[in-house]
Structure formats: C-alpha cells, structure tokens
Chain A
Amino acid sequence: MKKLIATLIAATCITSVQASDNIRFGMEATYPPFEFVGDNNQIEGFDVDLANAICLELKAECSFNNQPFDSLIPSLKFRRFDAIISGMDITPDRLKQVDFSQPYYENSAVFIASKGTLSSIEQLKGQSVGVQNGSTHQQYVIDKLEANGVTVRPYDSVQNAFLDMTSGRVNAVFADTAVANEWMTQKGDGQYQHVGPEIKNPDYFGIGYGIAVRKGNPLKGKIDTALNTLKSNGTYQQIQNKYFAN
C-alpha cells in the first residue's frame, strides 16, 4: 500500500513537471486570419503561428483548445488551459479578471454593410447590427448605439453574423477591421463596404491584442520575454507578412 501511494505521488509529481512544459492555449477558431480551422482540420492562423513561435522560444509544447469566445476567460480562470490567444483586446474590464502580455497586434474596429445601403454610422438608427457575444464590439454597440434605436444581435461566432448579413437578417456587422477585411475579400464578392471610419477607442478596444494568463501567473513574464525576442529577431515580422502581406 505504501509503495502504491509513493508511486502515485511520484507519478503526479512527474506529470505536474511535464505540465509546466506544456502551454495549453484557448481560442475561438472561427476568426480568420487570426485563428480558424483550415482545410486539413488543423487550427491555423496568425495567433497559432505566434503561439507556436513563443512555445519554441520557451522550449515548451503548445496545444490548442477551441471553444466559444464568451467562455474563454471563465475557462482560463477555471484552469481548463493556461493562456488565451484569440484576437483578444486588452481592456480595463478584462484586466480586472486576467493578466495580459504586452500587446502583439494593434487593431481597430469597423462596421461593414452591403454596398449602397448605409454610408454613415448615424444611419444605423433603427437598423440591426450583428456582433460576436462577449466581444468588445458588443460592449461598444450596446453602450453607444443601443439607446439610439440600434438592435444589437449577438452571435456565437462572427462568421454567423456575416452569414446573416448576406441573407439580410442584419443590416450591418461590427467587427475587427482585419477580420472584416478578410471576410470581404474571401466571401464578400465585392458587395460589401466599410460604414464610417475605423474606430479606435482605447476604453473599449484597449491597446491591441494581448495573450491572457491567470492573475499572478509567472507565465506572463516568460511570454513577454519571448515576444520581445520574436519582435527583435524578425520572426514576428515573418508571421505578420505571411498573413497581412499587402
């Protein structure tokens, strides 16, 4: 019996050592070009390449969990994974829940709609806008536009919001500029355009995308160091060029 217990304890120690070398990332993989499920059923994208580069730098194993965006922060807190890399803006609200690495991508948000329907943000009055549930875009539209008679329609994935825009169920979609542009080139067929200017509001959209870790986790420091190295040795630029060539 004693031997059995000793073995069990030894086994747990070994697995916990191994676990620290394995960084489990959470993401919501319907967000091209940042993370999406590719043709061969593998999760790929800008965030995935960056996470893999970070793991290489830290000599750790990377694994990825795909789950709904609004459950990422709760799951991180419940220790389902160690970090979130999912096009997540560093915002004051989220900083109350988790720690973020330094920003790794500077972004903005934009409304898109079918060509010839809307030309300014003011015209959204009385219209419906699709957003991803749990996103900063949802927060922004609820706070700034809902009182002006804009109906906010929350979707589990921003792709479903785009889909409903093509069938006319929502008049516009509010999303990250890079993601909206990617969708317009891939699926938009030249029928869609930006409505109004790109929006950069640090109160809502923060200071860019960050990698989230649990509060006080030393992993934050390691990731920051790795990001510095990747930015200075050109790896970051390579990944950037791969996805945002022009």
Chain B
Amino acid sequence: MNFEAIMDYLPQLLRGLETTLELTFASLFSGLALALLFTLILVLRFKPLEWLVKTQILLFTGTPLLVQIFLIYYGPTQFKGLQESFLWPLLSEPWFCALLALALNSAAYSTQLFKGAVDAVPVGDWEAALALGMSKRQALTRIILPHAIRRALPAYGNEMILVMKGTSLVSTITLMDLMGYADRLNARTYDTLTVFALAGLIYLIMTGIMTLIIRLMEKKALAFSQ
C-alpha cells in the first residue's frame, strides 16, 4: 500500500460515486413512497390489498437482496413475450432493474418499521382524536402518522444506510457504481487490499455523513419530546 497508488486509484473509484449516490437516493425516495402507501393499506385494513402487501413483505424480507437483483435482471430475459412488451425498454436497463430491486426491498422493510411505529402509538391518542370529532382519516393523517413517523425515524435512518450499502451489489448486474469501479481496478492492478480498503473507506465516510444528517433530522423531529 503506497501513497502514489492511492492517489492513482482514488479518482478512478470516485467515478462510481455518482451512480452509487443516485441509486441510493432514487431507491430511498421510491421505497419511502411505496412504504407509506403500504403502511396505510395495512393500518386501514383494505382487505385484498392487505394480502398483497403482506405477500410482498414476506417475499422481499425473506430473500437476500442479491437474489432479488438477479431475479429482476435475468428473470425477464427468459420470457419472449416480456421482451416484446412495453416494459422491456425499462427492464433492459440495468439501472432500472437495480432501482426496482432496491426500492421494493427497502419498501418491505420500511413498511414493517412504520407499521410497528403506528401500532406503538397509544390507543388513547386514537380515542382522543376521534372524541374531538375527527374522522378516521383525519386522525390518521394529522395525529397518528406524524407521531409514528417521528418515532420510526431512528430505525428508518438505519434502513437508509442499509440501502446505501446494498447498492454495492448492483455491480453484479454490470452497473459501474463505486464497487463496479473497484472490481475493475482490482482486475487491472491485482492490488486487492489497497483497492477494496479504499472502497471500504469511501463507503465508511458516506455512512458517517448520512448518520450525521439523520441525527440532525431526529433532533429536529423529536424536539418536542426533549
């Protein structure tokens, strides 16, 4: 491990940072939107949809992310019909397949987090809101969900970091993210230790920054309870 090599590798690795960050935030946002929708379905007990959401959670929390990425990327190529459908331009893009897998995976875990947080809101809050004349929907959107989401924030912060680290798997479907460039560099230089130590360090710094941001958000969101 020498300084010159590090200076040579660093810019090459950082080329992949853009894909890693784009993918992290795109899948976090779409995952969050889906998770909120799923949580609503579970809390309000919309019957047929509830079963669908429960199946989705079972499938995506019960299988490894790598398997999900492979299935979504290589699965559709087995069906000729799908290759001629309007979905193919999207599914043929490795970027979209990675986004889909990460978003659905994150949605499944976040839904469980949010549902747990909603369940943890004391029954008294529900009763008070209803007694004040709010409809069930008003009580949910104005009292229960804001309260629950604030409570879920620390755990959701972990989920954000897990998604960021999960993006390192997308290089297996040819995306050139940070890990993709690390693989390429390792294959070229065989300097395995330096290359992956550097990649690990970059991930660590990103995790550190994300943790700080989440701490700040928590402080703001939970200010009322301090």
Instruction: List the interface of chain A (C-beta within 8 A of B).
Output: 70, 73-74, 77, 93, 97, 130, 133-135, 138-139, 142, 153-156, 160, 163-164, 166-169
Contacts and interface: CB of A to CB of B under 8 A. Distances in A.
Contact of B174 (A97, A142, A153): A153
Most buried by B among A130, A166, A169: A169
Interface of B: 74, 76-77, 83, 92, 94, 171-172, 174, 176, 180, 183-184, 186-188, 190, 192
B183 to A, nearest CB: 6
Nearest to B193: A74
A163 B74 contact: yes
B187 A167 contact: no
B92 A154 contact: no
Contact of A155 (B83, B174, B176, B190): B174
A154 B190 contact: no
A93 B187 CA distance: 11
A166 B77 contact: yes
Contact of B184 (A74, A97, A154, A166): A154
Contacts of A134: 183, 186-188
Given A74-B190, A133-B184, A164-B174, 18 more contacts: A70-B183, A70-B186, A73-B190, A77-B190, A134-B186, A134-B187, A135-B187, A138-B184, A138-B187, A139-B188, A153-B94, A153-B174, A154-B171, A154-B183, A163-B74, A166-B77, A167-B77, A167-B92
Pairs A-B, 4 closest by C-beta atoms: A134-B187, A167-B77, A70-B187, A153-B174
Contacts of B176: 154
A25 B190 CA distance: 19
